[in-house]
Amino acid sequence: MNPLTGPLYALKGFGLIRRPSLRRFVLIPLLINSGLFIAAIWLSSHYFDAYMTQMLPEGYDWLSWLLWPLFAIAMLLTLFYTFTLVANFICSPFNGLLAEAVEREIKGIAPENSTTLLQALKETPKSLWSEVKKIGYFLSRAIPLLILFFIPGLNLFAPFLWLIFSAWLLASEYFDYPMANRGIAFQDQRQILKQHRVSSLSFGGSVMVLTMIPVVNFIVMPLAVAGATALYLEKIEGKAS
């Protein structure tokens, strides 16, 4: 699949959440995400310099001009993705409703087994448990990667591996909502995304870039849910073997 598909659908997500019919589904995720990102920005600005001084390996000062921005991006992504997980954990019932609303907007008909706000709130424990499983999947892979940052020599490759991993995790996070609405289990979702690896990674990478842009990162969560839903419906659904 075209690697530009992911960025195009990330932009399409921005257009979708601006539609009047979807605005009410965006409000709660937007408010929660904005509050958490303000906290993330404050923490990163407060501890960033000290962290970067400790992370640069001794003897590699001559590479500081290259390693500094890579370590900076990796650290900021670690912090912002952690806050993204927290935001999605809190907003999971509302993000599922947003994914349904996007499907209704795109197809012109309500999806099967559509959910009301009251039903979504009743199913909050189930939604939160699904998020807990995703966090467990994230941690089981993130911790070994984070350890690489502390191993001299190997930590030169850690930022690149972390960027790829972050793109994959963000794709897994946001494609979960349209697929979970169809009853597709998380382990099966990963297999579907692997069949569409290029578009999945390019979408996750696009979301990752948007996460790093001030002000834009406040609307990343609803934007990504909308974009992932549109991409799944129009390019992935029915094409996984």
Residue 213 contacts by C-beta under 8 Å, 6 or more apart in sequence? Answer: none
Question: Which residues of the chain fall below pLDDT 70?
Answer: 1, 40-41, 44-83, 110-129, 238-241
CA angle 21, 28, 45 (to 5 degrees): 125
SS3 label, residue 212: coil
Q: What integer pLDDT is reported at residue 241 of this predicted model?
A: 46
Inter-CA distances, 82 with 56, 91, 125, 142, 190, Å: 22, 14, 21, 11, 20
> Looking up tokens 């350890």, which residue turns up?
147
Question: What would the two tokens of residue 20 be?
Answer: 């009047």
Q: What integer pLDDT is reported at residue 200 of this predicted model?
A: 93
149-180: pLDDT as tens digits: 778 777 777 778 888 888 998 899 899 889 98
What letter represents residue 41's amino acid? I
Where does 18-123 have alpha helices with state H?
Answer: 20-55, 64-107, 117-122
Q: What integer pLDDT is reported at residue 12 of this predicted model?
A: 95
80-103: pLDDT as tens digits: 666 677 777 777 778 888 998 999
Rounded CA gap, 184 and 173, in Å? 13
